[in-house]
Amino acid sequence: KAGVTQTPRYLIKTRGQQVTLSCSPISGHRSVSWYQQTPGQGLQFLFEYFSETQRNKGNFPGRFSGRQFSNSRSEMNVSTLELGDSALYLCASSTGSTGELFFGEGSRLTVL
């Protein structure tokens, strides 16, 4: 079974730009969650989508948004990038009922 796939793996943007990250969950998994990982703040929950609906949202500004498609693939978007948005963005999928999350390799975003 293929694991969680995230694209792109690395990207560099400048302040003010926007970025879209993609996540393909494990086949059969309907829940996709996004996390931001930084050295100072650790792993912080951004949001979760389940069956195309946002089920949970963390404490991030409205510049961070996401969506999920009917095939469970998910995207997250960050608009008006700031230097502090530089981080590893991790996507995790689960069946939505067992609780075990499977993480992707992440998308490392650098904002210059």
Partner 1 sequence: GENVEQHPSTLSVQEGDSAVIKCTYSDSASNYFPWYKQELGKRPQLIIDIRSNVGEKKDQRIAVTLNKTAKHFSLHITETQPEDSAVYFCAARFSGNTGKLIFGQGTTLQVKP
Could you list the residues that contact partner 1 (CB under 8 A)? 31-33, 35, 42-45, 48, 50, 55-56, 58, 90, 92-94, 96-106
**Shortest Å distance, C-beta 70 to partner 1:** 18
Instruction: Name which of 48 and 85 has its Cβ closer to partner 1.
Output: 48
Tell the residue number behind the tokens 């929950």, with chain if given. 45
**Shortest Å distance, C-beta 109 to partner 1:** 15
**Shortest Å distance, C-beta 100 to partner 1:** 6
Measuring CA to CA, which residue among 32, 102, 45, 105 is closest to residue 74?
32
Instruction: Name which of 70 and 100 has its Cβ closer to partner 1.
Output: 100
Measuring CA to CA, which residue among 5, 26, 7 is closest to residue 93?
26
Instruction: Name which of 39 and 62 has its Cβ closer to partner 1.
Output: 39
**Shortest Å distance, C-beta 63 to partner 1:** 20
Residue 70 phi/psi, 5-degree rounding, is: -65, -20
For 4-25, give the DSSP string: -EEE-SEEEE-TT--EEEEEEP
Q: How far apart are CA 2 and CA 4, in angstroms?
A: 7
Instruction: Name which of 33 and 81 has its Cβ closer to partner 1.
Output: 33
